[in-house]
Structure 1
Amino acid sequence: MVASIGKNIAAKIHLWLGLGSGLVVFIVALTGSLLVFEEELEPILYARFHVVTPPAHARRLPLDQLVAAARAQFPGKKVGRIELEPHPDRTVIIGLQQSKKAKDLLSVAVNPYTGQVVDSRQEEAAFFAVVLRLHRYLCMGDTGKVITGISCSMFLFIMVTGLVLWWPNRKNRKQRFTVKWNASFKRLNWDLHAILGFYVLPFVFLIALTGLVWSYKWVNNLLFYAFDGKPQTKREAPANPSAGTPKSTQLYEKIYAETSRLLPYTGVVTFTFPETDSLSITASKKNHEAAISNIVDFLYFDNKTGDLVKKRLYDDETMGFKARRVVFPIHTGSILGWPTKLIALVVALSAASLPVTGFCIWWGRRRKGKKASSATAKKPTARKIPNPQLGIQNL
């Protein structure tokens, strides 16, 4: 009796939360599946932008010369970012900004061997940038962030109530673990919703839970409180030591050479330039040789002389910062490379299917209920035939 009442309550919660968040969950899960292999698909979709043919025995031109070529093609813009891939057949991408707005970033791809600008794009309009905005904010800014945050929170409760509804008894235990592929559409749809949902539930729950780190600041701080006993501290580039000194003509090449020397492992190097000359240049390098992904070291350089100002290495970070670094690869499935990415892809597509199959279950029951009500309303009421011996009171 108690179990039956509990399942009825769980069913109502599961239904109404599902109807309320289903469309958002579908969009978030589907866009998430596209983002799983973003790093691999990006150079394929935008080969002209990313890929060059390195000539035999050719050496890369100095970075300062490449930056100068990009700025000559697009004058009046300030250098905001430089990105260098470790592969010899990749372009050097230089981000130019006309204003302080992040969406104003123009990415310019330069052939590192010839100095020729091969392509450019407004970063805001790139395919994966649009997919990411859909995934995080539904392309609706802060309003969309609130909607996706609430919907993902609801999805966590949906998964818990779904597990309660799926929970087998002695009679249906076998049926709860096996999809009956040759069954009717109604039965197959139910199996795909309930049984497939059960198998992917631990992974989807973890992905949705880690996603809340981007939706709510208090969740992010909770992670730091758990490991460091205090909220996340703001990280920014240190003050630049040499104010007023003329800028070195080989500034960027000097910074890159020193970064490669101090961080000799393979990985993408990114220079981030401050909005004002009062702060140092940040050089970050992602360690492709680490056991898990998203391991990044930071170096800070004088924006005039290129001298090292400060190191911020991953090994010296707090436990809270290291835990926060792991959240992203867990969420995207990139934590252990291709194997976990494939799992994340299957899980994301399965999660996207759950609102669809769930809606079909609800719609089928709704139509069945309407048909039953209509049939009851149309059914003629049995008319009693008067018995002459009893008089007219029976009419």
Structure 2
Amino acid sequence: MTFKKAVLTLHLWLGLASGLVVFVVSLSGAVFTFQDEVRDAVEPWRLVDGQGPELPPSRLQATALRHHPANTVSYLMYFGPGRAAAVYLADKAGGSFVAYVDPYTGRELHFQDLRRDFFTLVQYLHMYLLLPPAVGEWVVGPAVLIFVVMLATGLMLWWPKRKTDRHRSFTIKWGARWRRVNYDLHSVLGFYVAAVALLIALTGLMMSYEWLRTAATFVSNGGQTHPAETTPPVLDTLQVVSEPKQPVIDRYFEQMRRLSPGYAMLFLAAPTSTKQPVFGIAYQRALRFYHRDDYYFHPVSGELLRRLPHGSKSNGAKLVDMNYDLHTGLVLGLGGKIVAFLGSLLSASLPLTGFVVWWGKRNKPEKPRRTAYPAGA
């Protein structure tokens, strides 16, 4: 068996093993790409007209719990000027909800059950195939890893042997028979989308696998480690602390607004234990997740335990912070999202066209054999 034949066999069987998962993950990723733009167009409660200072998070919590007393608060998001804040809640049955609250008036604008939200379902389809997360991640992760290998083997198979074949390798012969057109759609489009698909696949895997994040961080930092960036501070549980006069979550909020002035978006986790620090994030731009300052607070006193501003982070930490924006194309704005959308859509087409290539070869009608007659017959 030649090397190219071995690569073709590997490409074929890996594709048959992972094709359906890759199709679903890629297509759902394409649908999810413009979720913020679609939501803003069809969900008017996400946008508000108010201006001025925002209400403290305790007021927003109180509004949500007054309307939905059976739930507990998980975390809050301030999405920036002109946008409603969101209080994320959970119930005892494991349901997840979000209450959109006007951050300037404290009025609840909308209450949403995330189990029935279209884009939340698309996100879970993309990440877990709507299976339980513990099961779904063991299906999606290996399939995406296989897809990365298939991109490499696909490029090996696409690579033209002769200079005269290069033009054919870069163009689709639309006037040919449908089998040839389908083959070109698989081969030529696979080449054009390979770089974008590889970036999307690798950034997706970084969200799923800690070992890949650690490896990427280690390489980006030139072999150095920065434990303070990955390890939360440890609380001294023997230390006696006093509660502030104001609600402790408001103290988190005030310190983040003071130390990260002008930052548009805030994430605030609700305290869940007196023995674990509370995590908060300040994002420089609304609906962008790269440029961020990280905070750790004492859950009782509200004292700032550690601050990791964007400017002091290592290259590896910045890469991890940028990962979601790279995955969705957000890092380049609207143009990047269009590229990510098209890359995901074309990635979804590759398993389909590849299957048709395999099926066509498998069921190709045999040519009638010519009968050899003896000379002179």
Question: Structure 1's 238 and 117: CA in aligned 2 closer, same or farther, altered over 3 A?
Answer: farther
Could you tell me whether the CA contact under 8 Å between 1:19 and 1:359 is conserved in 2?
yes
Q: What SS does structure 1 have at the residue aligned with 2:69?
A: coil
Q: Is 2:108 aligned against 1:117?
A: yes
By how many angstroms is 1:59 displaced?
Answer: 6.2
Q: Is 2:73 aligned against 1:79?
A: yes
Match of 1:36 among 12, 33, 36: 33
By how many angstroms is 1:273 displaced?
Answer: 1.6
Deviations along 1:195-222, one digit per CA (max 9) or x if unpaired, are: 1111111221222233322333322222
* Aligned residue in 2 for 1:361: 357
Instruction: Output the CA distance in 2 between the equivalents of 1:77 and 1:243.
Output: 30
In the alignment, residue 79 of structure 1 is paired with which amino acid? Answer: V
In the alignment, residue 86 of structure 2 is paired with which amino acid? Answer: I
In the alignment, residue 354 of structure 2 is paired with which amino acid? Answer: G
* Aligned residue in 1 for 2:43: 46
Instruction: Output the CA distance in 2 between the equivalents of 1:41 and 1:353.
Output: 24
Q: How do 1:310-321 residues align onto structure 2 when only pairs under 5 Å count?
A: 310-321=306-317
In the alignment, residue 310 of structure 2 is paired with which amino acid? Answer: Y
* Aligned residue in 2 for 1:146: 138
Instruction: Output the CA distance in 2 between the equivalents of 1:217 and 1:113.
Output: 39
In the alignment, residue 337 of structure 1 is paired with which amino acid? Answer: G
Match of 1:197 among 180, 183, 190: 190
By how many angstroms is 1:134 displaced?
Answer: 1.7
Q: What SS does structure 1 have at the residue aligned with 2:332?
A: coil
Question: Structure 1's 262 and 59: CA in aligned 2 closer, same or farther, altered over 3 A?
Answer: closer
Could you tell me whether the CA contact under 8 Å between 2:186 and 2:354 is conserved in 1?
yes
Q: Is 2:96 aligned against 1:105?
A: yes
Deviations along 1:171-216, one digit per CA (max 9) or x if unpaired, are: 4222111122333322221111111111111221222233322333
% same residue: 30
Could you tell me whether the CA contact under 8 Å between 2:290 and 2:318 is conserved in 1?
no
* Aligned residue in 2 for 1:178: 171
Could you tell me whether the CA contact under 8 Å between 2:266 and 2:280 is conserved in 1?
yes
Which of these two proteins has the greater Rg computed from alpha carbons?
Answer: 1
* Aligned residue in 2 for 1:332: 328
Instruction: Output the CA distance in 1 between the equivalents of 2:210 and 2:263.
Output: 33
Q: What SS does structure 1 have at the residue aligned with 2:207?
A: helix
Q: What SS does structure 2 have at the residue aligned with 1:75?
A: coil
Mean Cα displacement is larger for which, 267-276 or 75-84?
75-84
Q: Is 2:64 aligned against 1:67?
A: no
Instruction: Output the CA distance in 1 between the equivalents of 2:257 and 2:74.
Output: 20
Q: Is 2:160 aligned against 1:165?
A: no
In the alignment, residue 210 of structure 2 is paired with which amino acid? Answer: K
Instruction: Output the CA distance in 2 between the equivalents of 1:145 and 1:211.
Output: 11
Query: Unmatched 5+ residue regions in structure 1?
Result: 385-395
* Aligned residue in 2 for 1:272: 269
